[in-house]
Amino acid sequence: MINRQRLETFAEPFIEWMIRLCGISAIIFVFGIFFFVFREGADFFFHKLDLVEFFTSPEWYPTSVSHKRYGVLALIAGTASVTLLAMAIAVPFGLGAAIFVSEFCSPKLKEAFKIIIELLAAIPSVVWGFIGLTIMNELIIDLFKAPIGLTVLNGGIILALMSVPIIVSIGEDALKAVPDSYREAAEALGATRWQVVYRVLLPAAKNGLLAAVLLGVARAIGETMAVLMATGHAVKIPHSLLDSVRTLTATIAAELGEAPVHSEHYQVLFLIGVLLFSITFVVNLTADLIVKGIRQE
């Protein structure tokens, strides 16, 4: 018994040291991700990259023999078009569903919807991509008489379905965070539920709802497999919803396997990774600051 106690006394500083190390592991990993991804592309970044061309040229010809060109404008346009469409669908539906689940539901129904939404969030992105590739593809060809169904529209709808669970669950949290006394005060004045939602809850929860939307945007920008499979492979700036596009994420996924290690092409793909990391970092940071802002109020 005494030995065991002594052992524990000796072990404790070691264990506490381990706990502290694991505690800061998340910071280490975030820096590690940036460091290692940037490290692979650093050579190209410091010596050959023309930032203006990189961001303003729609010409992405990384494997051309005579004149390789690395312009990501078309890819950014691809990501932007799919994300915008996804948000145009997911934001009203997601916030509508969040309001319904939070304010208009009986407790049992609410529980059921929350479970369904949680399961919806669990569907792997490659399965979403497969749904886009098969079911949505046929639907779009039939409905719009389009030659191919792998388009902005397809990718946007799939991404919307993927972002909705995030928007609903975080939006619902934001509405739940509004004190009940607000609701009671408004109802005591004779307001209907809708009036309570529109005049009291939405203004009070607007920061949280904004954060929910931002996290949905971050998810849509970062999604890879679903857009790789559902948007076709056309590196061009889309002019209509029925154009095929390619996003930043899909480009990395499609080309990394073929680019020779440490070639220029390979390094540019890592730089696109750095770009994606920076975009989602800023979006997530903003969402987090907004949420923290509410808590301090």
Partner 1 sequence: MISLSERPAGANSNLFLETPFDRKKRRTQSVAKGLFLLMTLLMVIPLILIIVYLFYKAFPVLSLDFLFTNPTNGMRAGGIWAAFLGTIYLVMISLLVSAPIGVLAAVYLNEYAKENWLTRIINLAVVNLAGVPSIVHALFGVGAFVLFAGMGRSILAASLTLAIMTLPVIIAATKEALGAVPMAFREACWNVGATRWQTIRRIVLPNSISGILTGIILQVSRAAGETAPIMFTGAVFYKAISEGDVFAYGLFDQCMALSMHLFTISTQVPGVPEALPYGTAVVLLGTVLVVNTFSIVLRIYLRLRKKW
Residue 204 touching partner 1 (CB under 8 A) = no
The reply to whether 65 sits near partner 1 by the rule CB under 8 A is no
Q: Does 182 bind partner 1 (CB under 8 A)?
A: no
**164 versus 178: smaller Cβ distance to partner 1:** 164
User: Please, which of residues 236-265 interact with partner 1 by CB under 8 A?
Assistant: 249, 252-253, 256-257, 261
Distance CA 19, CA 11 (A): 12
Residue 187 has which token pair?
Answer: 């109802």
Q: Compare residues 23 and 107 and give the one whose CB is closer to partner 1.
A: 23
Under the criterion CB under 8 A, does residue 7 sit at the interface with partner 1?
no
CB 72 within 8 A of CB 248: yes
The answer to whether residue 44 forms part of the interface with partner 1 (CB under 8 A) is: no
16 vs 56, beta carbon nearer partner 1:
16
Query: How close are the terminal C-alpha atoms of the chain, in Å?
Result: 52
**Residue 50 or residue 135: which is nearer to partner 1 going by CB?**
135
Q: Find the radius of gyration of the CA atoms of the chain.
A: 24
Site for partner 1 contains 92 (CB under 8 A): yes
Q: What angle do CA 187, 193, 196 make, to 5 degrees?
A: 65
**How many CB atoms sit inside 10 A of residue 160's CB?**
23
Q: Figure out which of the listed residues 7, 50, 88, 118 binds partner 1, where binding follows CB under 8 A.
A: 118
Of 276-295, which residues contact partner 1 (CB under 8 A)? 276-277, 280-281, 283-285, 288
- Let me know: does 237 contact 58? Beta carbons within 8 Å: yes
Asked if 176 is part of the footprint of partner 1 (rule: CB under 8 A), the reply reads no
Gap between the Cα atoms of 280 and 282, Å rounded:
5
Lay out the site mask for partner 1 across 137-166 (x = CB under 8 A, - = otherwise): ------------------------x--x--
CB of 108 to partner 1, least distance (A): 12
Distance (Å, rounded) from C-alpha 89 to C-alpha 216? 11
- Phi and psi of 80, rounded to 5°? -65, -45
Q: Is 24 in the site for partner 1 (CB under 8 A)?
A: yes
Cα–Cα distance, 216 to 286 (Å, whole number):
13
Name the residue nearer to partner 1 (CB basis): 178 or 229: 229
By CB under 8 A, how many residues form the interface with partner 1?
86
Q: Does 221 bind partner 1 (CB under 8 A)?
A: yes
Unique residue bearing structure tokens 């092409």: 265
